[in-house]
Structure 1
Amino acid sequence: MNAARGFPAFPRQRAGARFATAWWGRAWIKALEDTSLDQILLQRGRAYAKTGQVGPITVSPGRLAAVTEDEYDTVVHVEQLTDAAWERFLDQVAAKAGHIAALLDRDMPHDLVEAAEDAAVPLLPTVGDLEPRCTCPDWGHPCQHAAALCYQASWLLDADPFVLLLLRGRDEHDLIEALQRRDLPATAPPGTPAADAFAMGVPPLPNPPPLDAAFAPLMLAPAPGVDVAALRVLAASAASRARELLTSGDLRTLTEHQDRVRMSATFGLDLGLDAAVEAWRHGGVDGLDVLESAWTPPRKDLARAQALLESGWENEPPPEVDRWRNRWTLGERQVRYGRDGRWYPFARRGDAWWPAGPPERDPSALLH
């Protein structure tokens, strides 16, 4: 059945009115704006939509249409899903009772869209999926009339996600009827009664594996298109990182750059990160941070460091130290205060400062 739904023209909107507010409506607008070749026409389309110059809208499978106030016939085509794709989509909807309830409540769950994408069923349009056509003389893609129609359609999608499903080829009645014909998942066998399960008590956990256990390298056979040596390094890196997290309790997430430095320091990879590797070997994430960034420590921390520096020279006055933020310099030596509360030594190599050893709590021990 070639279903179609008609919607009355939107009246003029108040100043500051927004378009889509639901996440799937915003995805529709993003597809429109990413496809556009002219931001000026988009701006005109937004104004045209808000001033009520688009007539009644008709939504049918693969087609969004309206006649504008200027008497232009405006259409936006959306690719319909195949019968096989619809079957895969219905499988995803029927797999979870909450999906059906959400759709009937006019909601489009994130996990349903993600599950559909995993099943190769694209519900939400992306760049190039919206094909505008208009009888106006403007060659824009889209023109302001088609852009206005798409912006107003985001209001329809906000209110009812079945509008999106109709554009993809099926109306609400067909979908509900198809879901009712599907077999329900087999009932799971009865389990242990709750009272019996609680009466069993909690069994003891097994002993954890020793943290100093050596990692056995993966023994992988060569395979076409697979860099086996690189895979061994990655597996060893993951094991090393897991052991480090277990022993240190430091659960900070590493950036891509930090992880490259860690791997280079651990496995001796030549990635052109010499100073960063030295910093990592002396202080890990915090050592790398003091190498790459400057910051202003709290005054009480600097005052404590000054007191330690003065006491480190006993009966003689301490030398004059050039202080800048967390970096204190004395001739060819420098210490940098880390966010972990330790001072890191640096030595000059040419025009650059290089990490020169493990950190200390007392800066005088490094500058003396």
Structure 2
Amino acid sequence: MNDRVRGFPAFPPQRAGARFASSWWGRAWIKAMEDTSLDHNLLRKGRAHARTGTLGPITVSPGRLAATAGELSTVVHVEQLSDAEWDRFLDQVAAKAGHIAALLDGDMPHELVEAAEEAAIALLPAVGDLEPSCDCPDWGHPCQHAAALCYQASWLLDDDPFVLLLLRGRDSQDLLGELQARHPATAEPAPGTPVDEAYAHGVPPLPAPPSGLPEHTPLLVEPAPGVPPDALRVLAADAALRARDLLSGAQPAALTEFQDQIRLTATHHLADGPDVRAWRYGGAPGLDVQQRAWNPPKQDLARARTAWAAENLPEVTATRNQWTVGGLQLRYGRDGLWYPFVDRSGEWWPAAPPERDPVTAMSEAQNAAPSV
């Protein structure tokens, strides 16, 4: 198998409103493409193509992402790293054993990308790093077909960060071989049974479960004045969840007392309310949108209005970062996402997770309105 050319089957049609890029590096990929575009109507069409399964199989090779859209051929070119840049990048990976383990586990650590940037290596694409081309007559940059290819590529990147490294010029075998060359000891075969011999034995039956053990081991807390055992059990479970989020970068390391109270309430379903819903849908950025209005950059709002006008949607009442249409409202966050809200007895409640496109966010608000 040629690891320098990887093929992926066509994505089947997705549900309406299916999200792109759940990983932070996948979102960075989409941002690089969207920030280059001057036509949000084409981006909207690209999202529709990506979700409806219009594209054929995707081929990934160094510097090139390609697919077909009917009889059209669509390609997105990505600048490859030079040999000198790869040497510096591999030095950063080899400097910490956890980096290569994270990549193999399907993760792209923030600190690895930051270390690469310190070594003057732009691992993640920025504005202008993606160069689309297509057989269609569309003059957009990207056109709707190239945009669809980029959106679908974000799903590939979510599953395997080595796809990004291949686009930058090196396949997984190249990388692992060069890392082993930097640490010859790691190239020695580990003692044990060869893989082909182990698989020849088949799958043995699972051992019987041990007897005399409870189904789970709860945290045992002795009652004491002012120390409710149930509350301590919740706090212990929450500490474990918080540690996981900190390690994964899912939430900021520093939270205010108020933010942490809302996070704790939302995580363990201790109560409900607009602030709690805001955290569940958007974390700290979602809570910030719920709590405070702000004045977004004019160019961000201009792009959003272009997308809105292309759909012939009703005129909005705009106040700072808030757009209101009847009993529905969109709020633009500092993270570049639109948060949908619905009017619930005179109070605005977050209705769904945020979207980069205000048209999609409004659709989510309309779908959620009857149940919120």
Q: Give the TM-score taking structure 1 as reference length.
A: 0.49
Which protein shows a greater Rg? 1
- More relative contact order, 1 or 2 (CA 8 Å, 6+ apart): 2
